[in-house]
Structure 1
Amino acid sequence: MRLLLDESLPRRLREHLPGHRVETVATMGWSGYRNGRLLAVAAAELDALINADKNMPHQQNPATLPLSVVILDAPSNELSRLLPLVPQLRAVLGNLPVRRFVRVAP
């Protein structure tokens, strides 16, 4: 699966997602893009966005979502706080619904 890590997440998270092509917003040259534009450009090249923005489902129209969005719901965006979510994240990625918001929480 082709994934995009949002710029709010640590780049080292990609090391914990073997078997997937994981890009970052920075490496794609999309730093600073607002969510709507980011989703649109990412949809042309990737399958899903992984982020930590718990408000995104309220800011974007789920009916017109151009790709799947996985929201990591952790106390902070530090890698040590995200790592406990990785097993559940991997499971979600194995059966990710198309163009849906999916929340991964402890």
Structure 2
Amino acid sequence: MIYLYDLQKVTDTDYIVCGYHMMPFDEKYGLGKTKEQLEAEGGIFVDDLPQREYHEGKTPILHINPRTKEMWYEYQEVRNPITDEVDTLKERIALMQQVLDDLILGGM
């Protein structure tokens, strides 16, 4: 059994799953609580997780309908911090070049 927890409500039939534990009742790695205790904390038990698909530049976000236990992934764009940094540096270089051009041409 897989324990889904830290569920964030989107709608009454759509929650984002922020965490899951593959062995919640394992003697060594488990959570040390009963099924009833974990369910009382708002968690949901499922038999398996849906298969993720690979989408370039996107990360899968697991969703569940708590009434039916239907699960699916929605894929969210992942920002590349290196690309963002390069874009910022390009903008700064262009601005500095403009200032230099204004100084050189304005001084004549």
> Above 0.5 in TM-score?
no
Q: Normalized per residue, which structure has more helix?
A: 1
Q: TM-score, normalised by structure 2?
A: 0.27
Q: TM-score, normalised by structure 1?
A: 0.28
Q: Which one has more relative contact order, counting CA pairs under 8 Å at least 6 apart?
A: 1
Q: Normalized per residue, which structure has more strand?
A: 2
Q: Highest Rg: 1 or 2? A: 2
